[in-house]
A and B are shown apart, each in its own frame.
Chain A
């Protein structure tokens, strides 16, 4: 069974149709990168996958459960879907450690001491074990984003969604964050990454989606999509960014 299945997804903001008709599926352990011009709907597409945006039409199945069905508890489904944002969105009134333990403890997934132990392990994994007691305001952008990844992982998600995770970072911070994401991919995490980092997409992705105008214009393994794009719009986009 696919980890994520998207069937005829549509999303409008008022009269503006941002996602016109998208269908795709993501298999367990697959890493899918989503590229496309700004305003193409790629971030909106990602945000529909955990219903941060209300879905206007079609269906999204996470691990078999239809998130557009109001009978399914969206809060429970979201626990399986980690999300990392462009602007980190760490909780500034809590320490790094509290950022990681809040959800597992309050949602009854782990006891406080177990959550703390797990959090410290995750912080070590992203290279920030020493920052457990720091507040987000004391961290650099790259450190914040690694904490944000660790915060999502603390819920043991089955899928991780990344919404332009390196776009707000100083160039020298990008490598650390991409490094953590590569490690995750190697461990078999199912990932969907909206990104402008073509190098990362080429190296890590199993499949690349090129989204433009609310549709998937083209999808392929990275070598083919980057090396031998079929559509004019893909060619035009790639010639600008590569």
Chain B
């Protein structure tokens, strides 16, 4: 018990780093996903292919390999300099982006064609149709799957400890190596991750209720 109380300030620093990485990566990842979904649905074959190659490449390779590729692989070029935190953010963002792309594409395609026809017949152009009619409806439908991916990405951030990012997991490992109390410390880590993820899912169900399709 004493160990936990003594390590709380350090764990708190780690938690802040985890949340910082997660917040930036999830927003970036969502934007990547949105762009890729739109490319995937664009009326040009070449754009469809670019998005498809990106999505397949990311989904078909392990997260750790992507992380090493970006942190060690890209950094071996002299014109690239990514510190471990930003390498981590970029990896989580790109990884989430590929999954978001498929979620968003499916969400857009699930909206009835009649919605687009009504919007276009009023004189809205395709981007106004997307912005005001299709995406708002699609996002409501996607919310549970988006939350699911966000939770997975949050848990993925713990893998960044491998490249020395001082996130919650890394702080825990450091404390364990100093105190030799893996049981209590890793239990405490687990509880902290659980609480954040639980809060995330509460937020999601609140949004779902709030934006329920009438």
B118 contacts which of A90, A106, A107, A138 (Cβ < 8 Å)? A90
A107–B114 touching, CB < 8 Å: no
Q: Does more than half of chain B's interface fall in helix, strand or loop, or is it mixed?
A: helix
Shortest Cβ gap from B62 to chain A (Å): 39
| A107–B114 alpha-carbon span in the complex (Å) | 20
- Distance in angstroms between the alpha carbons of A26 and B81 in the assembled complex: 67
Determine if B3 is an interface residue (Cβ-Cβ < 8 Å).
Answer: no
A-chain residues with CB within 8 Å of residue B128 when the two chains form the complex? 106
| Bound CA–CA A82/B122 (angstroms) | 7
In the complex the two chains form, what is the Cα distance from A85 to B114 in whole Å?
Answer: 8
Interface residues on B, range: 20 to 34
Closest-by-CB residue of B relative to A76 is: B123
Q: Given A93-B140, A137-B214, do A79 and B117 touch, yes or no (CB 8 Å)?
A: no
A94 vs B128: C-alpha distance when bound (angstroms): 15
Q: Fill in one digit per residue for A123-142: 1 if any B CB lies within 8 Å of its CB, else 0.
A: 00000000000011110000
**Which partner residue on chain A sits nearest B128 by CB separation?**
A106
Bound together, the chains give a CA A52 to CA B121 distance in angstroms of 7
A152-B122 contact given A52-B117, A89-B115, A91-B133, CB 8 Å threshold: yes
The total number of A-B Cβ pairs within 8 Å is 68
Residues from 139 to 183 in A contacting B, C-beta threshold 8 Å: 148, 151-152, 155
B112-152 interface mask toward A, CB cutoff 8 Å, 1 = contact, 0 = none? 10110111111111001000110011001000000000000
Contact residues in B for A151 (Cβ distance below 8 Å): 118, 122
Could you say which residues of chain A place their CB within 8 Å of the CB of B125?
Answer: 75
Contacts known (A87-B114, A91-B118, A93-B140); A75 close to B214, Cβ less than 8 A? no
Q: Which residues of A contact B213 (CB under 8 A)?
A: 92-93, 137
A106 to B119, CA, bound (A): 11
**Are B121 and A138 interface neighbours, CB within 8 A?**
no
A151 to B121, CA, bound (A): 11
Q: Looking at B121, B132, B137, which has the most chain A CB atoms within 10 Å of its CB?
A: B121
A106:B124 contact, CB within 8 angstroms: yes
In the bound complex, CA of A107 to CA of B131 (Å):
13
Complex Cα gap A81–B122 (Å): 8
- A59 on interface, CB distance cutoff 8 Å: no
For A83-120 the 0/1 string (1 means CB < 8 A from B) is 10101011111000000001100110000000000000
Docked-complex contact B124 and A75, CB < 8 angstroms? yes
- Interface 0/1 of A45-86, CB less than 8 Å to B: 000001010000000000000000000000110110111010
Partner of A79 from the list B112, B114, B122, B140 (CB cut-off 8 Å) is B122
Cβ of B123 and Cβ of A135 under 8 Å apart? no
- Also in contact, A78 and B132, with CB within 8 A (given A87-B114, A89-B112, A92-B137): no
Interchain CB contact under 8 A, B115 and A91: yes
Cα A107 to Cα B127 in complex, Å, equals 12
State A58–B115 Cα separation when bound (angstroms): 28
Please pick, from B118, B123, B140, B214, the residue contacting A89 in the complex, using a CB distance under 8 A.
Answer: B118
Give me 18 other A-B pairs in contact (C-beta within 8 A), A79-B123, A103-B124, A152-B122 excluded.
A76-B123, A78-B121, A83-B117, A85-B118, A90-B118, A91-B115, A91-B119, A91-B137, A92-B137, A92-B214, A93-B136, A93-B140, A107-B124, A137-B213, A138-B214, A148-B118, A152-B121, A155-B122
Residues of B within 8 A of A (CB): 112, 114-115, 117-125, 128, 132-133, 136-137, 140, 213-214
8 sampled A-B residue pairs with Cβ under 8 A: A75-B124, A78-B120, A78-B123, A89-B114, A89-B117, A92-B214, A106-B128, A106-B132
Closest 6 CB pairs of A and B: A79-B123, A89-B118, A135-B214, A89-B114, A83-B121, A103-B122
